[in-house]
Structures are given as structure tokens and as C-alpha cells.
Amino acid sequence: MPEPQRILCIDGDEGFRRAVSERLAAEGFDVTAVASRAEGLRAAVSASFDLIFLDMCLAKQDSLDTYQALRAHPSMKHVPMILCTPVAVEGYWETMPYDTDGPCFVMGRSHDFELLLARVSQLLAEGTITRLD
């Protein structure tokens, strides 16, 4: 039996982090959930992950800096990332135009876990994706 795919979830909102983590775990993913930039960076360098889910509105932290620090680490350079932001409308999903190292998408914060699961599965199945419909 193959090992479950590993997802790192870095999200400052405890309720949302828990909901995302529990839903992904229920689908068979091995989820590591952390609340801060420091915890996320420590987790990222201590284990390998197949996908990273990053809250772009971490309280009192520069989330773009977190994203860049993750990308700078050799083991994270090509890992697909989903950047979640509550400032985008629900259902929003777009590629990051300036990201050249690995697949990265921005989505609006949503409790539409079916959409999230579809995007996670698509990213993991296809590796580098140029466009999601």
C-alpha cells in the first residue's frame, strides 16, 4: 500500500486550519497543521511534503515572506502550493503569474471543501500545472 501524500497546512485561523486539516485527513492525506510562519518553516525543512497550503493573512506576519522562504529551501522549490486569502472572493482561483519555481495558486478562503479537494487532487496528480479550469 502506498504511503499517503503529505500536506503541510500553515494557517493562523484555528477553526479553518482544523477544518481543512480534518477534511484532508479524512480523504487519506497525511496532514501536518501549524499556526505560524516559524512552525511552518520548521516543519517544511524537517520533513518532505507533496503540497503546501499557506494562509496569506497570517496574523502579524509577512506571508509573502513566508512563501519566499519556503521556495528558497531546496526541498520546497518545486512543491505545489495553494495560497489562501480571505481578501479574494469565495471561489476565486488563479495562478501566480510571477512564480517560476513551482506551481502556485491563489484561492479565496472558502468552506467549499469539495472545490479545495478537487484542486488539491488535481495539483498532486498533474505535478506542474499551467492552468486550472
Asked whether residue 57 is assigned to any structural domain, the reply reads yes
- Number of structural domains the chain divides into: 1
Comparison of pLDDT for 17 and 119, the residue scoring more: 17
**83 in a structural domain:** yes
Q: What is the mean pLDDT of residues 76-105?
A: 67
Q: Does the pLDDT value for residue 20 go beyond 80?
A: yes
pLDDT per residue over 43-71, tens digit each? 998 999 999 999 887 766 666 788 888 88
Does 133 fall in a domain? no
Average pLDDT of the chain to the nearest whole number: 80
Q: Is residue 18 in some structural domain? A: yes
Q: Is the residue at 52 inside a domain?
A: yes
Quick check: is 40 in a domain?
yes
Cβ neighbours of residue 72 closer than 8 Å, sequence gap 6 or more: none
Mean of pLDDT values over 27-45: 93
Strand order in the sheet with 93-95: 30-34, 6-10, 51-55, 81-85, 104-108, 93-95
What was the pLDDT predicted at 19? 93
Provide the domain limits for residue 17: 6-126
pLDDT of residue 129: 40
- Tell whether the model's pLDDT for residue 133 goes beyond 70: no
Per-residue confidence at 82, pLDDT binned at 50, 70, 90? confident
Q: Which of 11-15, 26-30, 77-81 has the lowest mean pLDDT?
A: 77-81
Give the CATH number for residue 11: 3.40.50.2300
Q: Is 131 part of any domain? A: no
Residue 51 lies in a domain: yes
Q: What is the pTM of this model?
A: 0.82
